[in-house]
Structure 1
Amino acid sequence: MFIGTATTILEWQGIRLMTDPNFLHAGDHVHLGPGVQGTRKTNPAVDLHDLPRIDAVLLSHYHADHFDQDVEQSLRRDLPIITTPHAKSCLTAKGDDSFTAVEDLDFFDSIIVDINRTSESGDEDDGSKGEGARPAFRVTGMPGKHVPPGPLSMANDFLKAVPPTNGWMLELGSTSSLPGDPAASEERFDCGYRIYISGDTLLVDELKEIPERYKDKNIDLMLIHLGGTTIPGPSIPLLMVTMDAKQGIELVKLIQPDLTIPIHYDDYDVFMSPLSDFKKAMEEAGLGEKVVYLDRGDEYKFAVK
């Protein structure tokens, strides 16, 4: 389900993962860097306090339009969060108010997501009952750069104005290992569906490593962050920090997913590249049949092999 901006809920086998939770409403503001503010133009499809149970969060980076102040105050502190090393340092440095189940992944690091679920009887299901394979997720950090290489990147490294960001490769499948054995879980993991989530990145050379690493593995779906986000804003477009339509179509050609769903393109007033530009580029490239467009609140259903 597409909630809005970069927020989605991915559900499979009764487990729900949420990406980049942002639940502010139209007119609310976020801080995006020194002297930079964004104003939300839309409402999320679901209000924060009306969410179904969420089992884990994939947080691409610690930026208020991806993890807003209301979310930070409201999420339970033991909610598993998978994120960047930078974001982990922020989320776990709040004293008694710190998040307590944060895992960080650098580029191409992986983790098997092993979530205990509660059955209808109230008993905790740790996956150890019975024999054979059980559902599992594998999350791998993918490269991402919010700031183009060169002098601006070096300046940002010093000023820490724009945080480091990840993409993700999310693999849905099964493992035959017992819970609590990460090495065996990785070795015995079989993937049935693969989702690449670009995160807030520009089209940088580091992304070329993705098709090299997955050249013999099909990528079923790509969630691509677009919008051509500009700092401080479209009226003074000094710096673009997410892909516009031109870069987005090049990423589609590079990754070659079976299907692409664009997200993160019109919810804030800092977006310069409208979704219509990406639609036009996909049609002109003959890729119109390989994209699905979701309005906020729409769902896309897929089958895991």
Structure 2
Amino acid sequence: MNSKPSITIDPSHKQAPTRDGSTTTLKQHLPSAKSSQSHPAQAATSDSNAKLFFVGTATTILEWQGIRLMTDPNFLHAGDHVHLGPGVTATRQTNPAVDLHDLPHIDLVLLSHYHADHFDQEVEASLRRDLPIITTPHAHTHLTSKGEGESFTAVHALDAWEDMFVNIIDRNPTPSTTAASSSTPTSRSRRPCLRVTGMPGKHVGDGLLSKANDILGAVPPTNGWILELGHSLSADADTSLAESEAFHCGYRIYISGDTLYVKDLEKIPELYTHAGKPIDLMLIHLGGTTIPGPHMPLIMVTMDAKQGVQLVKLVRPDLTIPIHYDDYDAFLSPLSDFKTEMSQAGLDDKVVYLDRGDEFQFSVRDP
């Protein structure tokens, strides 16, 4: 895989610049979750050290080690419209679990693609311009070319199979001692770290239609992600270890992004599940999104329930959480379809269902 330069985040910030250059004190916490869930095979315990809050659509907020990572920010309300392509619009059917301007400080955004139901017009107008965003090369071009004062200034492009590290400043690093050889112990600091790897995704399936879309650009390129939460062992004296060699993953999340089940996805288990790198959690984008719209559903551009279960069987995550399933009228495959397909596949113990405003608690393993 091709690695891009790493970035560093300081989670101690309590203020953030607004668009006019002033500062404002932000809320310190997300709203209390309507319900908290954990792995169905594990009793809820107090040792959970991370949680995922479901806002709605594909918008989630992950909290771990003092940082907040937000996926695909969409905060429009019921009745609002988004533009999805030439002559294609969709209407939101639901409200987000928290309003955009009631968010606490966000440290990082993972944006799967540049579509208004994943990065809406209010989000684009309101987010601070120095907010770190990891996204596709296509979205990078759009977000960084808006002109002086409007362009986002900390956008990082990852294509499929490219990765980058996000270092988290830890004010109280945990020292550990490892043996560099049988006779020479080396003192190291264990620091929290993320590794983000772009995964393949296609709105338009394999074949001639996909090639036509590549030329016309009617539907934008999209990514999935492998998000690994873990620690790096930073050597005090010996800095010869490569960043990837010093990283120890404690929890691995696959975010499918808006994709159909396509052949490119079959490489994921080869590189992870079958290579001794199990996927702890999959956030799967469903809905069976159709264009031009619900009254003329000519083309499906996100997985429906059957394709979703097909992906679960391929990737074999320890647990799956479906998102992106009923928030817009372009979604024609409801969550109930996926529940039925998972039950028929005997996978009820491998899935957690979150409503907007619910959270999932889990534990990132220590190295």
TM-score (norm 1): 0.93
Amino acid corresponding to residue 361 of structure 2 in structure 1: K
For 1:132-190, what per-residue CA distance to the aligned partner results, in whole angstroms no more than 9, with x for missing partners? 11001100000100111222212211211100000000000001237xx9x83322100
| 1:114 aligned residue | 167
Is the Cα contact below 8 Å between 1:6 and 1:19 reproduced in 2?
Answer: yes
| 2:280 aligned residue | 220
Unaligned runs of 5+ in 1: 118-124
1:12 and 2:72 aligned: no
Which structure has more relative contact order (CA 8 Å, sep 6+)? It is 2
For 1:189-235, what per-residue CA distance to the aligned partner results, in whole angstroms no more than 9, with x for missing partners? 00000000000000000000000001211110000000000001122
| 1:121 aligned residue | none
1:299 and 2:356 aligned: no
Structure with the bigger percentage of strand? 2
What is the alpha-carbon distance in structure 1 between the residues aligned to residue 191 and residue 309 of structure 2?
A: 37
Q: 2:224 aligns with which of 167, 174, 180?
A: 167
Following TM superposition, by how much is the alpha carbon of 1:129 offset from its aligned partner in structure 2, in angstroms? 10
| 1:287 aligned residue | 347
Q: 1:253 aligns with which of 302, 313, 317?
A: 313
For 1:88-144, what per-residue CA distance to the aligned partner results, in whole angstroms no more than 9, with x for missing partners? 011000111111111111111111112457xxxxxxx59799951100110000010
Secondary structure of 1:38 counterpart: strand
What is the alpha-carbon distance in structure 1 between the residues aligned to residue 278 and residue 364 of structure 2?
A: 13
Structure with the bigger percentage of helix? 1
Secondary structure of 1:301 counterpart: strand
| 1:189 aligned residue | 247
**What does 1:134-213 correspond to in 2, within 5 Å?**
134-177=191-234, 184-213=242-271
| 1:45 aligned residue | 97
Amino acid corresponding to residue 280 of structure 1 in structure 2: T
Amino acid corresponding to residue 72 of structure 1 in structure 2: E
What is the alpha-carbon distance in structure 1 between the residues aligned to residue 123 and residue 318 of structure 2?
A: 33
Is the Cα contact below 8 Å between 2:168 and 2:192 reproduced in 1?
Answer: no
**Residues 302 and 89 (structure 1), Cα distance of their counterparts in 2 relative to 1, 3 Å cut:** same
Number of positions where the alignment pairs a residue of Structure 1 with one of Structure 2: 297
Secondary structure of 2:69 counterpart: strand
For 1:18-54, what per-residue CA distance to the aligned partner results, in whole angstroms no more than 9, with x for missing partners? 0000000000000000000010000000000001111
What is the alpha-carbon distance in structure 2 between the residues aligned to residue 197 and residue 7 of structure 1?
A: 11
Amino acid corresponding to residue 319 of structure 2 in structure 1: L
1:229 and 2:282 aligned: no
Is the Cα contact below 8 Å between 2:287 and 2:324 reproduced in 1?
Answer: yes
| 2:151 aligned residue | 98
Secondary structure of 2:125 counterpart: helix
Amino acid corresponding to residue 132 of structure 1 in structure 2: S
What is the alpha-carbon distance in structure 2 between the residues aligned to residue 94 and residue 252 of structure 1?
A: 39
What is the alpha-carbon distance in structure 2 between the residues aligned to residue 74 and residue 269 of structure 1?
A: 25
Secondary structure of 2:268 counterpart: helix
Amino acid corresponding to residue 185 of structure 1 in structure 2: E
RMSD: 2.0
TM-score (norm 2): 0.78
What is the alpha-carbon distance in structure 2 between the residues aligned to residue 99 and residue 115 of structure 1?
A: 21
Amino acid corresponding to residue 362 of structure 2 in structure 1: F
What is the alpha-carbon distance in structure 2 between the residues aligned to residue 233 and residue 127 of structure 1?
A: 51
Amino acid corresponding to residue 9 of structure 1 in structure 2: I
Indicate the structure (1 or 2) with the bigger Cα radius of gyration. Answer: 2
Secondary structure of 2:283 counterpart: strand
What is the alpha-carbon distance in structure 2 between the residues aligned to residue 5 and residue 171 of structure 1?
A: 22
What is the alpha-carbon distance in structure 1 between the residues aligned to residue 175 and residue 156 of structure 2?
A: 26
Segment drifting more, 199-208 vs 88-97:
88-97
Is the Cα contact below 8 Å between 1:177 and 1:184 reproduced in 2?
Answer: no
**Residues 187 and 268 (structure 1), Cα distance of their counterparts in 2 relative to 1, 3 Å cut:** same
Unaligned runs of 5+ in 2: 1-52, 177-187
